[in-house]
Structure 1
Amino acid sequence: MTATSAPKAPRRPRRDLPPRRLFWSALLFAATLAGLLYSVYGSSPAPALRVGDPSPQTFRAPFDLVAVDRVATERARSAARAQIGVLYSTSPERQRLVLSELAAAELPERVRRFLTEAYSHPDGVSEAELPNLIREAAALAGDGEAVAATLQRLLISTTEPSARLTEAARAAAAESVEPVMRVLEAGDVIVRRGDPLTDDALRVLEAAGLYTPRSDRLEQSLVLALVCALLALFLTLPLLHFYRSLRARLTVGQLAFLVLLWALGLVLQRLAFLASPYLLFIAFLPLLVAVLTSERAAFVLAVWLAVITALLSPSDTPFHPLAALTGGTTAALFARTFHARPALLITGLLSGAVAAVTFALGSALVGGLGNLGALGALAWLLGGGVLAGMLALAALPLAESNLGFLTEFRLLELTSPSNPLLQKLLLEAPGTYQHSLIISNLVAQAVANIGGDPLLARVGALYHDVGKLRRPQFFTENQFAGENPHDRISPHLSYLIITSHVRDGVELLREYGLPAALEPFVTEHHGTTVLAYFYKRALESSERVDELNFRYAGPRPQSRETAVLMLADAVESASRSLAEPTQGSVRAMIDRLIEQRLQDDQLAQSPLNFHDLEVIASTFERLLTAVLHRRVSYPSGEELDRLKRDRDSRRASVPLP
């Protein structure tokens, strides 16, 4: 824990290669994408083309195409060569000659050492450096003019022009100049149908793999297949972004599921284009990703899918990818606005409507569709939005139940008292259930105030003590008859029974199929704290007791949510023992317990800082004061009857006037 700001969560160690399952998933995705691209561009190889002939079709760049501009490149390299002046090399013979003359000359020792050091340097002494060198040496001598005259006769330059070094440097400067490129973005028109073919156009078509001067139909198909494969590999690179940004939150299996789902979605979208070029439902992918992971990842995916759609779309209109982009970003933006699963259908319809409006506005600007054609296109786009919502709704239960994705929908369902495990807790350990309800409110409010995930914290707090179901009568909140079974067993056995509720809780979560994200709330809510009550009993009965034998196994809290749960659990339990639950006594108890956890290093591995602890303490104080406030003592029926009788007696004893 730091005193200034919450540190970032520790990053997982980097791997040189992705895990095997994810690697094969990415490879399968690339192969699928290559096949889809070939189905669009490789089904009919280009005919023979000649300069001056009209183009038989409209050729578009299948990917971001870069060609070298040789003239501009050579001009830049010539300029780089011109910036390199003549280079010099050191002559060893001249160095030895000057050094021998200096050794024989009658010069002050300081001057001789200075000049010997200068002429011994590997870079030598150039002609331009001689005047300064003589002036500095003369300044070191007592008789400056005489020494300067001697040095003028003795000293010479030890460097000479080197044609080899100069040419090598100029060649290196020229080679370092990057080629000047001509860029065509994916989808840009290279040449339109009917336009005369030029030599430049043929060269670009050849670079794109759309035309080969000397090839038969088989060779051209192979070239197109290779181009599609390389383009698919290039378009698969964004998967690395998802892997790096989401690997700390998702398992390899979950990432592999998303990759395979994207591949399946693109295959279905390609087949849908065969039915109608306006049946666009690919927005179900960013919609599902936003629900399962984050809106940011969904936005990136929506942009990436717009590029893919532009390549897979059989239509020449540029508004097709724009409709895909606006529909996908709309799905990502509104995916978490609603808190019920059927709302995915509404979000899908909304994304289709936005895509339809985008397409309609673009078509109206260019007049590309007639009235009937426009209405048909808008109907297909709206239907595609509804289909996107249905696909996302169908895939969501699979992702949650079989792959362990924890969504907001799932968390809200887990807060329902009708959940089987909560029902079991309510019936068999009602005290623990009520304790968990109070804790969940404390934790959710405190976590929300420090910028954590309040919904996850609430659910984790509801289930953190489910392990007490194994032996509910051994926990104070469930001992309604006043009998404590710990009074009849040793402190060591009590320790084993109490601490076992952590292990039992994890087993129950897995038995009932609850998300793995709830397990840290069970294992970390006690950290490695000491069971002080039983440790004290053991000390009273024996002198040889090790404190480590009465600590929970841990681990200590690793997140904001579990750290707040630890504090709330301690505070709520201690609040039951307050004789006078005033605001001051409640706050003093909270501060004391937080200080104990700090002194015991229970928060050392959590990202909480001191400002967070102050916010948490204030939140606990406000909520517990409201829960524990004093209530007015209401009179019983018997007491009211007695007061009535006393009043009537007094009235009867008063004489009438």
Structure 2
Amino acid sequence: MEKIQQQLMKIRGLLDLRIFRVLLFLVLGLILYASMFTNVKPEKMDLRLFSIANQTVRSPVTISDKESTEKKREEAEDSVQDVYYMKKETNENRVDLITSIFDAASEVKKELQDQVNASTGTAQGQEGGNAGSTPSDKEIVDKMKGKLTEEVTRSISDSVLLALVSSSKEELSVAKDVTITAINTVMNRRIPADEVENSKRLVEEELKLTSMSSQLKAAVIELGRYAVVQNEFFDLEATQELREQAKESVEPAKILQGQIIVEENQLISREVFRQLELVGLTDNQQSTLPFIGLALLVMVMVIALYYYFHELKVSGDMKQNYLLLFSIIFILSIVMLKGISLLQQFEFSDLGYLFPAAMAAMLIKILVDDRLAILTTIILALCGTILFSENITSSLNVNIGIYIICSGLASIMFLSKQNQRMKILQAGMFVSLVNIIIIFALLFINNGHYNAKEYTFYFGGAFTSGIIAAILTIGLLPFFEAGFGILSTMRLIELSNPNHPLLRKILTEAPGTYHHSIMVANLAESACEAIGANGLLARVGCYYHDIGKTKRPQFFIENQMNIENPHDRLPPQTSKNIIVAHAIDGAELLRQYKMPKEIVDIAEQHHGTTLLKFFYHKAKQNGNEVREEDYRYPGPKAQNKEIAIIGIADSVEAAVRSMQHPNPEQIESLVKSIIADRLQDGQLNECDLTLKEMEIISNTLCETLKGIFHSRIEYPEITKQKVKQA
């Protein structure tokens, strides 16, 4: 492990240089590109017209098939029947025309009768001459033609006109009714152009059944046939509209990604070859577009990671530590992702659901922070969509992407509070549950039909993924913590175990210091949590902050029980050196035990460069020439909030413990004066505490101290004696 740590230290040293950091990101980009290269590389296949396909070929892309779309639209347009409309006014006009002809015949008949009557009367008045002459057929016809239009007279024979006028009034009335009825009956039906002759015959057949003279029957039959005309006409506008609607209703034809174009051992016909050409599988020159697309995607991923680390608000050493740690976890995840995806070549489909997607998320969440864990999960999901493309080049498996994102986010959410090892196993169970729900949700959304064996496989894969992620996280966590010296929450919990050798050393060699450390830990933890700092780090740091006192425990007042204070016999300079040494000795001892840097910093910095006022003033009272700098701790000053709060809590606890029966007012006054003194002395200048946070810290410390040093009931003397006897 030491050799590994040394190698990691060398690499971290290189990462201090910007060129090596950029080089590391380039390496990550190359690893990403190489892992997905074969999944976007178009396959070279022997696909010739009229040859037999030696394998099943699927479309690598989704593309519109314009030729098929146009063909379907033409078929839809041709399937639309012509629209015809019935012109009802035609029926009315033809009936009115025939009615007019009969009316004209009645008028001519009346006029001729009047003419005959007039002629008869005139003849009788002249010498009892002959009766009036009867009009000739030509005269009758001419009179009828004068009543009708030229078009009608051209279409109707003279015999019809003569027969109508020659009939009696009663016969003419019956003939008119019969003819109009027959015409109405036939013309109320649709009569297209090719049915006109049949409709004429229908009128003729109906009029033949009537009982009238043969001459009149022939006339009305001719009139009936003349009256029947086409009343159904082609509606060009409506037909065009329907054809347009039919064309628009046709969905654009598409060849979908993953769609089978030709089956194995199937003939590559012209239509199949056209589709293969359309998706680019017959192009002998390999397209560079998939490689450009992959390069752009990888570039976005790497830039996102670079921006995150560039904006990360931590020290330079910690940033390089995090970068190297992330790189190892990320590369390990990509290798696992690629390894599982390669098994698809052996016809094992859907193995991507076995990938422990939550492992990287949990490790980075615990060792770094939530934001990087979320970003890593998103990048792994994008990689998964390409790597698990089910042997379909240039395709994306969106289901796997959704699965990885949900799995990773579930683990991050579950580990939001406590990160104990048992919590990781619980997180794995939670992730397994989420995985199962997500897989079945995707299966049901896709409306797939699966048997019990397949459902069992999906269930087992989802469950196994979460458990393996938890096991790998628990197994790899100690390696990363030890190798990178990272102080995780779980490491802090382990360091807080009272059985730790250093804590047992304090307890046995300096019990007063141990009790003091516990009290300071309570104060510092509550103050840190009040302002959002790391309360657990403050507590554990307090346990070890005075470890240096174990070297000379009797020189510190909390360990001086029933003994004389040795400082009373020592010069102030010597006493100062002994007291100041506990911070230096403590840091040295912690380094020997390879304690985390954060704990060492607390032991070294919790006093900052404060002045040992008691010994300073004692030296001045002795009449010696003393400098204030000679009676200060060597520092450095507190570099973060937790150390600053521990220093304040350390002073406050010691000061309050030295008071006889402190009341709340005295406690508040003392706390505020100590904080003010620290501010005025510049001890808080190098940490990022704000004045508002200082006020919160003051109030929190006062509340905690009031709870510790609350007033107690004074027992009566008799009770005291009983207590002593007991």
Q: If the length of structure 1 is used for normalisation, what is the TM-score? A: 0.68
Residue identity matched to 1:241: Y
8 Å CA contact retained: 1:527, 1:554: yes
2:474 is aligned, of 380, 388, 393, to 393
Does the C-alpha gap of structure 1 residues 299 and 229 become closer, same or farther in structure 2, counting only changes over 3 Å?
A: closer
Q: Give the number of the structure whose alpha-carbon radius of gyration is greater.
A: 2
Partner of 1:314: 389
Deviation of the 1:575 alpha carbon:
1.1
Deviation of the 1:256 alpha carbon:
1.2
8 Å CA contact retained: 1:295, 1:333: no
Residue identity matched to 1:40: N
Partner of 2:439: 359
Partner of 1:617: 698
Q: Report the secondary structure of 1:194's partner residue.
A: strand
Name the CA distance, whole Å, in 2 between partners of 1:306 and 1:347: 19
Partner of 1:30: 29
Alignment partner of 1:279 is 2:354: yes
Name the CA distance, whole Å, in 2 between partners of 1:334 and 1:385: 12
Partner of 1:9: none
Partner of 1:252: 320
Name the CA distance, whole Å, in 2 between partners of 1:247 and 1:259: 19
8 Å CA contact retained: 1:313, 1:320: yes
Partner of 2:628: 547
8 Å CA contact retained: 1:431, 1:477: yes
Deviation of the 1:317 alpha carbon:
4.9
Deviation of the 1:46 alpha carbon:
5.5
Q: 1:510-589, aligned counterparts within 5 Å? A: 510-589=591-670
8 Å CA contact retained: 1:190, 1:201: no
Residue identity matched to 2:687: S
Deviation of the 1:550 alpha carbon:
0.8
Residue identity matched to 2:326: L
Partner of 1:304: 379
Does the C-alpha gap of structure 1 residues 546 and 203 become closer, same or farther in structure 2, counting only changes over 3 Å?
A: farther
2:571 is aligned, of 476, 490, 509, to 490
8 Å CA contact retained: 1:527, 1:555: yes
Partner of 1:91: none
Deviation of the 1:38 alpha carbon:
2.7
Q: CA offsets per residue over residues 509-565 of structure 1, 9 Å max, x none?
A: 222222112233222211211000110111112342111111112222232222211
1:326 is aligned, of 406, 412, 428, to 406
Q: Report the secondary structure of 1:342's partner residue.
A: helix
Q: 1:397-476, aligned counterparts within 5 Å? A: 397-476=478-557
Residue identity matched to 2:309: Y
Deviation of the 1:581 alpha carbon:
0.9
Q: Report the secondary structure of 1:278's partner residue.
A: helix
Deviation of the 1:211 alpha carbon:
8.2
Name the CA distance, whole Å, in 2 between partners of 1:211 and 1:515: 62
Q: 1:53-452, aligned counterparts within 5 Å? A: 56-60=57-61, 192-194=259-261, 213-214=284-285, 232-246=298-312, 248=314, 250-273=318-341, 274=343, 276-315=351-390, 317-372=397-452, 373-452=454-533
Does the C-alpha gap of structure 1 residues 300 and 434 become closer, same or farther in structure 2, counting only changes over 3 Å?
A: same
Deviation of the 1:310 alpha carbon:
0.4
Does the C-alpha gap of structure 1 residues 361 and 473 become closer, same or farther in structure 2, counting only changes over 3 Å?
A: same
Name the CA distance, whole Å, in 1 between partners of 2:283 and 2:644: 66
Q: Report the secondary structure of 1:260's partner residue.
A: helix
Deviation of the 1:190 alpha carbon:
6.2
Name the CA distance, whole Å, in 1 between partners of 2:676 and 2:354: 62
Name the CA distance, whole Å, in 2 between partners of 1:616 and 1:283: 38
Does the C-alpha gap of structure 1 residues 560 and 202 become closer, same or farther in structure 2, counting only changes over 3 Å?
A: farther
8 Å CA contact retained: 1:352, 1:385: yes
Name the CA distance, whole Å, in 1 between partners of 2:720 and 2:455: 83
Report the more deviating stretch, 391-400 or 376-385: 376-385
Q: Which runs of 5+ in 2 are unaligned?
A: 1-13, 63-254, 263-270, 391-395
Q: CA offsets per residue over residues 290-346 of structure 1, 9 Å max, x none?
A: 111222221222122111110111336532211111111101111244442032122
Q: If the length of structure 2 is used for normalisation, what is the TM-score? A: 0.62
Partner of 2:117: none
Q: CA offsets per residue over residues 1-40 of structure 1, 9 Å max, x none?
A: xxxxxxxxxxxxxx99964664454344333323321343
Name the CA distance, whole Å, in 2 between partners of 1:591 and 1:343: 40
Does the C-alpha gap of structure 1 residues 411 and 262 become closer, same or farther in structure 2, counting only changes over 3 Å?
A: same
Name the CA distance, whole Å, in 1 between partners of 2:377 and 2:712: 57
Name the CA distance, whole Å, in 1 between partners of 2:623 and 2:637: 29
Q: Report the secondary structure of 2:637's partner residue.
A: coil
Q: Which runs of 5+ in 1 are unaligned?
A: 1-14, 62-187, 642-657
Does the C-alpha gap of structure 1 residues 589 and 271 become closer, same or farther in structure 2, counting only changes over 3 Å?
A: same
8 Å CA contact retained: 1:21, 1:256: no
8 Å CA contact retained: 2:28, 2:302: yes
Deviation of the 1:225 alpha carbon:
7.3
8 Å CA contact retained: 1:191, 1:197: no
Does the C-alpha gap of structure 1 residues 638 and 459 become closer, same or farther in structure 2, counting only changes over 3 Å?
A: closer
Name the CA distance, whole Å, in 2 between partners of 1:500 and 1:20: 42
Name the CA distance, whole Å, in 1 between partners of 2:554 and 2:428: 51
Residue identity matched to 2:468: L
8 Å CA contact retained: 1:557, 1:563: yes
8 Å CA contact retained: 2:261, 2:276: no
Identify, as 1 or 2, the structure richer in helix: 2
Deviation of the 1:586 alpha carbon:
1.5
Q: CA offsets per residue over residues 429-461 of structure 1, 9 Å max, x none?
A: 111111110000011111111222211111122
Residue identity matched to 2:611: V
Aligned residues: 490
Does the C-alpha gap of structure 1 residues 49 and 496 become closer, same or farther in structure 2, counting only changes over 3 Å?
A: farther
For the aligned residues, what is the CA RMSD?
3.4
Does the C-alpha gap of structure 1 residues 323 and 227 become closer, same or farther in structure 2, counting only changes over 3 Å?
A: closer
Name the CA distance, whole Å, in 2 between partners of 1:17 and 1:535: 43
Name the CA distance, whole Å, in 1 between partners of 2:590 and 2:19: 29
Name the CA distance, whole Å, in 2 between partners of 1:227 and 1:638: 87
Name the CA distance, whole Å, in 2 between partners of 1:309 and 1:294: 23
Deviation of the 1:616 alpha carbon:
1.9
Partner of 1:40: 39
